[in-house]
Chain A
Amino acid sequence: MTPPTPAPTAVGAQAPPERAERAEPARARRRGPRAPGRIRHASLPYLLLLPALALELLIHLVPMVIGAVMSFKTLTQFYIRDWSTAPWAGLDNYKLSVDFSAPVGKDLLDSFVTTCLFTVASVALCWLLGTAAAVFTQESFRGRGLLRALFLVPYALPVYAAVITWAFMFQRDNGLVNHVLHDQLGLGGDRAFWLIGDNSFYALLTVSVWKGWPFAFLIVTAGLQNIPKELYEAAAIDGAGVWQQIRRITLPSLRPVNQVLVLVLFLWTFNDFNTPYVLFGRSAPKAADLISIHIYQSSFVTWNFGTGAAMSVLLVLFLLVVTGVYLLLTSRGRKSANV
Chain B
Amino acid sequence: MSSPSPTAPPRSFVRSRRIFLTLLTGFVLLPVYVMASSSLKPLEDVSGRFRWLPSGLTVRPYLDIWKTVPLAKYFVNSLIVAGSATVLSVVVAIFAAYAVSRYRFRGKRVFTVTVLSTQMFPGILFLLPLFLIFVNVGNTTGVALYGSRGGLILTYLTFSLPFSIWMLIGYLDSVPRDLDEAAMVDGCGPLGALFRVVVPAAVPGIVAVAVYAFMTAWGEVLFASVMTNDTTRTLAVGLQGYATQNDVYWNQVMAASLVVSVPVVAGFLLLQRYLVAGLTAGAVK
Contacts and interface: CB of A to CB of B under 8 A. Distances in A.
Interface of A: 1-4, 6-12, 14-15, 19-20, 22-23, 25-27, 29-30, 32-35, 37-38, 41, 44-46, 48-49, 51-53, 55-56, 58-60, 62-64, 66-67, 70, 75, 80-84, 129, 132-133, 136-137, 139, 141-142, 147, 149-162, 164-166, 168-169, 173-176, 178-179, 183, 210, 215, 218-219, 221-223, 236, 241-243, 257, 260-261, 264, 267, 270-271, 273-274, 277-278, 291-292, 295-296, 299-300, 305, 308-309, 312, 315-316, 319, 323
A195 to B, nearest CB: 12
Contacts of A44: 99, 103, 190
Given A44-B190, A59-B155, A7 B254 contact: no
9 contacts: A9-B281, A11-B281, A48-B95, A48-B99, A159-B220, A264-B283, A267-B120, A270-B122, A292-B123
B182 A132 contact: no
Contacts of B152: none
Given A30-B185, A315-B122, A242 B9 contact: yes
Given A14-B277, A82-B140, 7 more contacts: A11-B280, A30-B185, A55-B92, A63-B129, A64-B126, A165-B34, A292-B122
Interface of B: 1, 3, 7, 9-10, 12-13, 16-17, 20-21, 24-25, 27-32, 34-35, 38, 46-51, 92-93, 95-96, 98-100, 103, 105, 108, 111-130, 132-133, 135-136, 139-140, 154-155, 157-158, 161-162, 165, 170-171, 174-176, 178-179, 181-182, 184-187, 189-190, 201, 215, 218-222, 225-226, 235-236, 239, 250, 253-254, 257-258, 260-261, 264-265, 268-269, 272, 276-281, 283-285
Given A136-B20, A168-B34, A2 B113 contact: yes
Contacts of B261: 157-158, 161-162
Most buried by A among B128, B161, B182: B128
A215 to B, nearest CB: 8
Nearest to A58: B154
Most buried by B among A63, A151, A309: A63
B92 A222 contact: no
Nearest to B166: A3
Contacts of A178: 50
Contact of A156 (B34, B129, B174, B215): B215
B93 A52 contact: yes
A156 B284 CA distance: 19
B181 A26 contact: yes
A52 to B, nearest CB: 4
Contact of B24 (A9, A151, A277): A151
Nearest to A137: B21
Most buried by B among A29, A153, A315: A153
Contact of A174 (B49, B181, B257): B49
Given A11-B281, A160-B219, A309 B128 contact: yes
Nearest to B88: A55
B96 A319 contact: no
Contacts of B221: 159-160, 273-274, 277-278
B154 A45 contact: no
Contacts of A67: 125-126, 128-129
B257 A10 contact: no
A113 B10 CA distance: 44
Contacts of A278: 221
A3 B170 CA distance: 14
A173 B258 CA distance: 23
A53 B154 CA distance: 14
Contacts of A132: 20
A157 B236 CA distance: 12
A132 B17 CA distance: 9
A173 B49 contact: yes
B50 A56 contact: no
A23 B177 CA distance: 9
A236 B103 CA distance: 46
A210 B31 contact: yes
A52 B21 contact: no
A23 B179 contact: yes
B167 to A, nearest CB: 10
Given A35-B181, A154-B28, A274-B220, A10 B280 contact: yes
B260 A161 contact: yes
Given A156-B269, A159-B219, A257 B96 contact: no
Nearest to B6: A236
Nearest to A323: B120
Contacts of A84: 136
